[in-house]
Amino acid sequence: MMTRRVYRSIRLGLKTLTLHKLRSFLTMLGVVFGVASVVAMLAVGEGASREALDQIRKLGSTNIMLTSVKPVETEARTVSPWSMSMYGLLYEDQRRAQEAFATIRRTVPVKIIRKEGRLGARKLDLRIVGTTPDWFDLVRRDVIAGRALTARDAERRASLVVLTEFGARRLLATEQTIGHTLRIGGEYYEVIGIVQSEAGQGGAMQTPDQQIDAYIPIEVARERYGDISQIVTSGSILRESVELHQLIVEVDQVEHVEATAAGLESMLRRFHPRMDYRISVPLGLLREAEATKRRFNIVLGSIAGISLLVGGIGIMNIMLASVTERTREIGIRRAVGAKRSQIITQFLIETTVLSTTGGAVGLALGLTIPWIIELAADMPTVVTGYSLVLAVGISLSVGLVFGIYPARHAANLDPIEALRHE
């Protein structure tokens, strides 16, 4: 009944539009580009923000990262070549944090030593990371080959090492390398596994040289390398004593992260007046990134909105011209017995057919653009289902909103006048 009439009106609409192919096409262009830009911009924006969010999320939204930072030397004093600076997080901090906060589930200490590693004939400057087995779990590194460190390895103080994918490749290590011996400085370690590099994982939190990490039990690192490191630069030797380079704190619930971070902050401030630490909360970054994404979407949305407005005005303009051109037809329909509402329906269907056809073309274009961007600029893009729904909804409503005025105009024509119209 009603649907039949709508179906026939759609057919009539299509017929009228194909009667003026070029005009219909030009009219649609506004909506085509409007919808295409909405879909494409959302895809690019979504791709960019999802990448950022992924990086942050990989750090763990329930984690808090404490990092040792060398304090700025406030007093200008003559630095003797043999002087040593002591700073950073202490094992004591780890113990205190663990005891003071019920919300902390576990803590992972990290000790970093720079040494050259040798595997067979290959050499590579490694970043030796002494840590506990929880590390792999907390920073979400998947084991690619072999296995990660275990609590038992730590207990045994075993000379075992886990390489990153990137480091392993540089050392020409493969799956067969597992069980072979890696020489670090003067010590020998058995390679037991290879884990994912943090390609794309670093973000604001980690440094690029983490790609060449080699993980050993922290007990072993402490025993063999102690807390003092020497950096030989031109003309001087820099000696530093740092107990822990990093402390990763896992909080039991996302809701507790911010309060716990604030608590840790005030605790550390008390024991570290020199501010030789930095505290960062991936959750905070996540929140910030999400806010940025929202702002970005608003900007994109308004640009797309303007182009759709322009497209809609184009449609309205053409439909008004069409109403004038078809005044006589409207008069005939009214004389035959069409109600005003039926004339409105007819013209609304025509504009909606016009705008949704434009929307469909725009959607196709909008899906192609991100694909080209991905190929050409190597930027990730994500087309979400929501943007497709949005595109269809927008083109439909452009047709309805900008069609209503011409349609009402047509319906309100005086049938007698309309019949006389040339």
> CA quadruple 399, 401, 406, 409: dihedral positive or negative?
positive
Taking a C-beta distance cutoff of 8 angstroms, is the pair 107, 194 a contact? no
Structure tokens at 152: 């038992």
Which segment (12-20, 41-49, 271-279, 379-387) binds other proteins by CB under 8 A?
12-20
Taking a C-beta distance cutoff of 8 angstroms, is the pair 137, 203 a contact? no
| Beta strands 84-86 and 236-241, pairing class | parallel
Taking a C-beta distance cutoff of 8 angstroms, is the pair 85, 70 a contact? yes
Q: Which of 167, 331, 366, 370 binds other proteins (CB under 8 A)?
A: 331
Q: Which of 144, 279, 332, 400 binds other proteins (CB under 8 A)?
A: 332
Q: Which is nearer to other proteins, 302 or 341 (CB)?
A: 341
Which segment (8-16, 255-263, 310-318, 381-389) binds other proteins by CB under 8 A?
8-16
Q: 143 forms bridges with which residues in the sheet?
A: 195
Fill in the amino acid letter for 19.
L
Burial class from Cβ neighbours inside 10 Å (0-12, 13-18, 19+) for residue 231 reads: exposed
Taking a C-beta distance cutoff of 8 angstroms, is the pair 109, 243 a contact? no
Q: Which is nearer to other proteins, 15 or 70 (CB)?
A: 15
Indicate whether 338 belongs to the interface with other proteins (CB under 8 A).
yes
Q: Which is nearer to other proteins, 16 or 24 (CB)?
A: 16
Which segment (13-21, 56-64, 109-117, 273-281) binds other proteins by CB under 8 A?
13-21
Q: Which of 289, 333, 350, 353 binds other proteins (CB under 8 A)?
A: 333
Q: Could you say which residues in the range 127-146 bind other proteins, by CB under 8 A?
A: none
Structure tokens at 109: 């200490």
Q: Which of 217, 334, 349, 383 binds other proteins (CB under 8 A)?
A: 334
Indicate whether 5 belongs to the interface with other proteins (CB under 8 A).
yes
Q: Could you say which residues in the range 14-43 bind other proteins, by CB under 8 A?
A: 15-16, 19
Tell me, what DSSP letter sits at residue 66? E
Structure tokens at 90: 């202490």
Indicate whether 329 belongs to the interface with other proteins (CB under 8 A).
yes
Taking a C-beta distance cutoff of 8 angstroms, is the pair 138, 60 a contact? yes
**# binding residues, other proteins (CB under 8 A):** 25
Q: Which is nearer to other proteins, 23 or 269 (CB)?
A: 23
By CB under 8 A, name the binding residues for other proteins. Answer: 1, 4-5, 8, 12, 15-16, 19, 328-329, 331-342, 415-416, 419
